């Protein structure tokens, strides 16, 4: 069964450093998402991406965050200057069309020191 793949599974970074989280969505999907889950809290929406542009973003997704689909298969989330509060699990999700559900990857655990 097709699945969303995320790398790395765990990323440890010093505060202030840039980090790129990578995702390979399911191949025929058109809509792409990033969510995050701080330990013990809800899964929160960050951003959605369709047709090579951001469709919607949350208040969390400030100027330090950016997303890109550099080729036909990868979808990345970049945090330019990481803060301690960016420590969380980051999930990538993709969706086909219409009313199809979002399918999630297993996440990247980001730890900021």
Residues that bind other proteins (CB under 8 A): 4, 6, 31, 33, 35, 41-45, 48, 50, 55-56, 58, 91, 93, 95, 99, 101-107
Cβ nearer to other proteins, comparing 5 with 64: 5
Cβ nearer to other proteins, comparing 14 with 42: 42
Cβ nearer to other proteins, comparing 13 with 58: 58
CB 32 within 8 A of CB 26: no
Q: How far is the CB of 81 from other proteins (least distance, A)?
A: 25
End-to-end, the C-alpha distance of the chain in Å comes to: 37
> The tokens of 102 are what?
């979002």
Q: How far is the CB of 16 from other proteins (least distance, A)?
A: 27
């Amino acid at each position: 069964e097709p699945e969303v793949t995320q790398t790395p599974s765990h990323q440890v970074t010093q505060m202030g450093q840039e980090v790129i989280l990578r995702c390979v969505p399911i191949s025929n999907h058109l809509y792409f998402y990033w969510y995050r889950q701080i330990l013990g809290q809800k899964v929160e929406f960050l951003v959605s991406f369709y047709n090579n542009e951001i469709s919607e973003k949350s208040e969390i997704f400030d100027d330090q965050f950016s997303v890109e689909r550099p080729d036909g298969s990868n979808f990345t989330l970049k945090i330019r200057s990481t803060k301690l509060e960016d420590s969380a699990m980051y999930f990538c999700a993709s969706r086909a069309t219409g009313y199809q559900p979002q399918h999630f990857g297993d996440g990247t655990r980001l730890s900021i020191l």
